[in-house]
Structure 1
Amino acid sequence: MGHNRPIVINSNTKIGNNVNLEQYTSIGSNSNNFAHIGDDVYVGPNTSIVEGVTIGSDVTIGAGSVVTKDIPAGVTVAGNYAKVVNQHNHAEYIVNRWGVK
């Protein structure tokens, strides 16, 4: 978790291995439909992820993004609302990886 600043995560969110959550990230849900985040995902600062989305593995989410739809594996997304901007993941943002997949 980046920079020791507020991060809000719904307690039922499913988060994979080697996920980097930067400051001011919010992963919420107003229903019983929770977000699922794959392995090796970088979530940039000030990002909002809403209920019911699935984020594939090896994904980079740009700063300030609002994720309202599923994100396929291996892409970079950015924007409000988040859209695929690159078909290649930038894995260098995932540091201190945990060795188990």
Structure 2
Amino acid sequence: MTPFQLIKSDLSRQTGCYSNKLLIKNLLNSNRSFKYIFWWRLTNSNRLVTRIFARYMHSRLSIKYQIQIPKEAKIGAGLNLGHATGIVISPSVEIGINCNISQFVNIGSNHGKAALIGDNVYIGPMVCIVENVVIGNNVTIGAGSIVVKNIEQDSTAVGNPCRIVHKNDPARYIKNKYYA
């Protein structure tokens, strides 16, 4: 997908629809989540001028909003950053489509490869996902959890260390899903 197609999917996840008017409104108003995602997506643009300006804006917004998502991170369509503050993601992470990432989330590794996160995953506030774990599709990770082991698909997991508590209605917090 092109960066612009990814941007359209991200905006439709946040607002429920897409239009050029809505795009401009969300860039100019105080929707810092979308503003950050917009410039982050353009850091990998094929156009040199766009890429240079996007990287400048990305670095400014990273400082302003205290979000560190490197341009090398592989994140699928339909990304939604909850309150868009205090988020740190490793460059080696791979995240599927329709992922919600809440505030104060850390996804990283001290030894190379970070997490592989599936589609339709909700990551609650203050979650730490450590090292090379695999999180399946349709998963909800509760607030304050520390994930150090794999989480199977279609489940809800909470705690420190994180453990599966049930398999009823996983990923129920994923609204306005983007379908590729």
What is the TM-score of this pair, normalised by structure 2? 0.54
Q: Percent identity?
A: 46
Say whether 1:88 aligns with 2:168. Answer: yes
Say whether 1:60 aligns with 2:140. Answer: yes
80-89 or 50-59, larger mean C-alpha shift: 80-89
Q: Is the contact between residue 59 and residue 74 of structure 1 (CA under 8 Å) also seen in structure 2?
A: yes
Where structure 1 has 5 or more consecutive residues not aligned to the other structure, the ranges are none
Where structure 2 has 5 or more consecutive residues not aligned to the other structure, the ranges are 1-80
SS of the residue corresponding to residue 76 of structure 1 reads strand
**Greater C-alpha radius of gyration:** 2
| Number of residue-to-residue matches in the alignment | 100
Deviation for aligned residue 1:91: 3.0
State which of 86, 110, 118 in structure 2 corresponds to 1:6.
86
Say whether 1:26 aligns with 2:124. Answer: no
Calculate the aligned-residue CA RMSD, in Å: 1.0
Residues 1:49 and 1:64: Cα distance change in structure 2 (over 3 Å)? same
What is the TM-score of this pair, normalised by structure 1? 0.94
Say whether 1:38 aligns with 2:115. Answer: no
1:21-74 per-position Cα deviation (integer Å, ceiling 9, x unaligned): 000000011112221000000000000000110000000000000000000000
> 1:93 is aligned with what amino acid?
Y
> 2:106 is aligned with what amino acid?
S
More strand by share: 1
Q: Select the structure with the greater relative contact order (CA < 8 A; seq sep ≥ 6).
A: 1
More helix by share: 2
> 1:6 is aligned with what amino acid?
G
